[in-house]
């Protein structure tokens, strides 16, 4: 849109909505435009991921047809990427540091728990009859 078209739209919006409601309408429209852009970016990212998966699948089929022998560098890279993806799926979280756990257990073992003693007032109240 050109500058003059935007000016005409702004003047019409000012006349229709008035100066009190115009800022709120502008905020609403800008929020809507922002959400549409964000949705488009998310869809584009998902589409790119799906295309990459399809490409890896095709490379894997080509490698299987060759009997996994005499593979091109692209096919070997695809195989390595698939192996890494499989490893990530089978073990999604890295193992925790094994040295941190014994330290936490030893601190817990060294800290004595407070002893529980009956409250003398409550114990006295039970024995006392009115």
Could you give the C-alpha distances from 120 to 57, 113, 116, in angstroms and in order?
A: 75, 21, 12
Q: pLDDT digit string (tens) for 19-66?
A: 999 999 999 999 999 999 999 999 999 999 999 889 888 888 888 888
- Nearest Cα residue to 6 out of 32, 28, 29, 38: 29
Model confidence pLDDT, tens digit, residues 98-109: 555 554 444 444
Most confident among 14-28, 76-90, 94-108 (mean pLDDT): 14-28
Q: Judge whether 78 and 63 are in contact, CB under 8 Å.
A: yes
Could you tell me the pTM of the whole model?
0.49
Domain ranges of the chain: 12-82
């Amino acid at each position: 849109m050109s500058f003059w078209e935007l000016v005409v739209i702004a003047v019409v919006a000012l006349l229709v909505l008035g100066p009190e409601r115009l800022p709120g309408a502008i905020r609403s429209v800008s929020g809507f435009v922002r959400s549409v852009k964000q949705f488009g970016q998310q869809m584009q990212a998902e589409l790119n991921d799906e295309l990459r998966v399809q490409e890896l699948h095709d490379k894997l089929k080509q490698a299987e047809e060759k009997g996994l022998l005499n593979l091109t560098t692209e096919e070997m890279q695809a195989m390595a990427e698939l192996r890494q993806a499989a490893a990530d799926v089978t073990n999604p979280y890295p193992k925790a540091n094994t040295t941190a756990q014994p330290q936490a257990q030893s601190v817990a073992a060294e800290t004595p728990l407070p002893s529980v003693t009956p409250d003398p007032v409550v114990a006295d109240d039970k024995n006392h009859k009115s």
